[in-house]
Amino acid sequence: MRFEGKIALITGGASGIGLATAQRLAAEGARVAIGDINEDGARGVAGELDGLACRLDVSDTESVAQAVHAVLSEFGTIDVLVNNAGTDLFSFFVKTDPGLWDFLLGVNLRGVMAVTHAVLPGMQERASGAIVNVASEAGRVGSQGSAVYSAAKAGVIGFTKAIAREAARYRVRVNAVAPGPIETPLLNAAPKVYGELGERLKQGMVNATVMGRCGEPEEVAASIAFLASDDASYVTGQTLNVSGGLSMW
């Protein structure tokens, strides 16, 4: 029970990788708080795991402040933060506009910053804590139809390193995972929006793995749990690819 007595906040915990992470951390003893823009979904997961649900839009700093306040009021502390909330709207870059750039950067990059900004001071004060950011292989190798998303995720990887350096003296570790294609609603949005072209985009990602398959959310959750746990006590500033060998650096 690596998380006995620990409190974990998982953003975007109502679905996919966040849901699997909440289940995994709870199974290992954590009390979980599920923050999600999908409030009903968060409530369902929190009910199942005897946790706390809060409405959270990571792109809105007021919403972030309220959600973090709610978690601290209920549990008193946050030991583990999983910055998992994310979204993409597949579109070739030439067809996008600045409104879309702001939206995608707001959720995928600024959202990670906003929640970290709200949670990290408490961790530093207690000289204890672990943050795991969910980046993407898109941020390492670039993903067709996802230029802004790729840029945001590359930003998350850089942010992870910088915060790891700043927080180390307070005994707070900060790491990231970079998933490849994982069977979730987000991955399957491309085929939904673009039909055959989207299916080809998805198949292209699968073909880029050396394992020749999509990953399951539980496989990412296992790596997040490792990085969040004391098993990774000497690991900080790293980005762990969980991608069937899609990239190897």
Does 16 engage in binding with ligand NAD (CB under 6 A)? Answer: yes
Q: Which is nearer to ligand NAD, 100 or 171 (CB)?
A: 100
Does 33 engage in binding with ligand NAD (CB under 6 A)? Answer: no
Q: Please indicate whether residue 194 is annotated as part of the active site.
A: no
Does 186 engage in binding with ligand NAD (CB under 6 A)? Answer: yes
Closest CA to 167 of 206, 105, 123: 123
Question: Shortest gap between Cβ of 81 and ligand NAD (angstroms)?
Answer: 13
Does 179 engage in binding with ligand NAD (CB under 6 A)? Answer: yes
Question: Shortest gap between Cβ of 48 and ligand NAD (angstroms)?
Answer: 14
| Of 9-17, 96-104, 161-169, 191-199: span binding ligand NAD (CB under 6 A) | 9-17
Does 58 engage in binding with ligand NAD (CB under 6 A)? Answer: yes
Does 155 engage in binding with ligand NAD (CB under 6 A)? Answer: no
The residues of the shown chain that bind ligand NAD, judged by CB under 6 A, are 11-12, 14-18, 36-38, 41, 56-59, 84-87, 107, 111, 134, 136, 179, 181-182, 184-187
Active site residues: 149
